[in-house]
Amino acid sequence: MNTELLIALITLAGSALGSLCGILASARLTTYRLKQLEIKVDKHNGIIERMFVQEEKMKVCEHRLADLEKGDVR
């Protein structure tokens, strides 16, 4: 009976260690993926901000062109 108990405890320890390693590996992978996603989102947000600036510049250019066509020069 003593041997059976020892084998059961060793099996329990092996299972617990395997589960813990799996959980840690999964958490590391999730953290890595989140960081990569944050980098992509930051790049996307940068493009959106730059497009907004360019759209504002285009509006100014369009107004200036319209003023020049009318003959209104400042």
Q: Give the model confidence (pLDDT) of 44-56 as tens digits.
A: 999 999 999 999 9
State pLDDT tens for residues 27-43. Answer: 999 999 999 999 999 99
As a whole number, mean pLDDT of residues 51-74 equals 88
Q: What is the pTM of this model?
A: 0.61
- 73 pLDDT tier (thresholds 50, 70, 90): low
Are 22 and 14 contacting, i.e. CB atoms less than 8 angstroms apart?
A: no
